[in-house]
Structure 1
Amino acid sequence: MSEDVPDERPSAGIPPTKAPLTSKVIPIRTWFHTLPGGQTLFRTLVGLVGLVFVVLGLVLVPLPGPGWLIVIAGIGVWAIEFVWARSLLHHTHERLFQWNAWQRQQHWLVRALLLTALFVIVMAALWLSLKHGFGIDPTARLARLFMSA
């Protein structure tokens, strides 16, 4: 399929993994490629499935939840067949690993501030989603709840 990129991370703390998903996809890909026009069909299917994941993930990004994770999964689907997607996935993986390593080296107070900022952003996104997406005003409901008590 493609050349494997060597993993230069220290192996300490990384659990052993099962066989990669590519070992399950390669036989399917090979079967498609034996059919007349199968290579084009497979590329088209991979492109469409990846597009569905990426669009769905981008729609979910402003909402609390796994929006970016779904986008990355879509890029992972594209990486089955497209070299540019493999490169983008590898780049994303490296940046996430660097971010994780950086935040682990920070003082506990910095990590607590980062977690607090993340919580505030998620709560603001949830509030905006409820208020403008569903017409529910959580602050008015909370005010009525506390006023009646």
Structure 2
Amino acid sequence: MATSDRTHDERDASGRPSETGDADALKDEAARRSGIHGWLDGIRTTRTGRLTLKIVIGVIGSVLVIAGLIMVPFPGPGWLVVFAGLAVLATEFHWAHRLLQFGKRTLAAWTAWLGRQAWPVKILVILAAALTAMVIVYYGLRLSLHIDLIAEARALLNR
């Protein structure tokens, strides 16, 4: 019997009407699930827990997505952090779940396309990615730390 089909006249273990209504049944159902899902279901059994969980998940997921987007132009795990943030958000928000599924489908389609290409195309994609990363690092260092890598390399070669 689904939780929504139960009446509000739930009985506790002694046979008396339960003062908490469906909350006891939801907690029992949550206890049957194992791992993180059961724990999250246990928190969701109360209105306060549900709201608190949405806020905490929203803040953690948003911080991860924003940090990942900041890291995207730099070498490192930028997109991985963005997807991790979306996965966190997807535990509570349907729109994040849909966006995560779209991202997974797009990534799978792109990697499948790249896998079907000949070696020269694969090499060009790798070179383009490496060149893009080098340009980003060069201008990132030049604009933020005022370090010109080309001038530094020339100075080292002229010694």
Cα displacement string for residues 104-142 of structure 1 (whole angstroms, at most 9, x for unaligned residues): 110100110110000000000111111111111111110
List runs of 5+ in structure 1 lacking aligned partners: 1-22
Does the alignment pair 1:99 with 2:126?
no
Q: TM-score, normalised by structure 2?
A: 0.75
Which residue matches 1:71? 82
The match for 2:126 among 94, 112, 115 is 115
**What does residue 87 of structure 1 align with?**
98
Q: 2:55 aligns with which of 35, 44, 54?
A: 44
* Inter-partner Cα distance in structure 1 for 2:114 and 2:35: 34
Which whole-Å CA distance do the structure 2 matches of 1:47 and 1:82 have between them? 8
Q: CA RMSD in A?
A: 1.3
CA contact (8 A) 2:73 2:133 kept: no
TM-score, with length taken from structure 1: 0.80
Identity %: 34
Quick one: higher RCO (CA 8 Å, sep 6+), 1 or 2?
Answer: 1
Stretches of 4+ moved more than 3 A in 1?
A: none
Once the two structures are superposed, the pairs formed by residues 1-20 of structure 1 within 5 Å of their partners are none
Q: Post-superposition shift, 1:50? A: 0.4
Question: Of 60, 68, 71, which residue of structure 2 is paired with 1:60?
Answer: 71
Question: How many correspondences in the alignment?
Answer: 126
Whether 2:156 is the aligned partner of 1:145: answer: yes
Q: Which runs of 5+ in 2 are unaligned?
A: 1-33
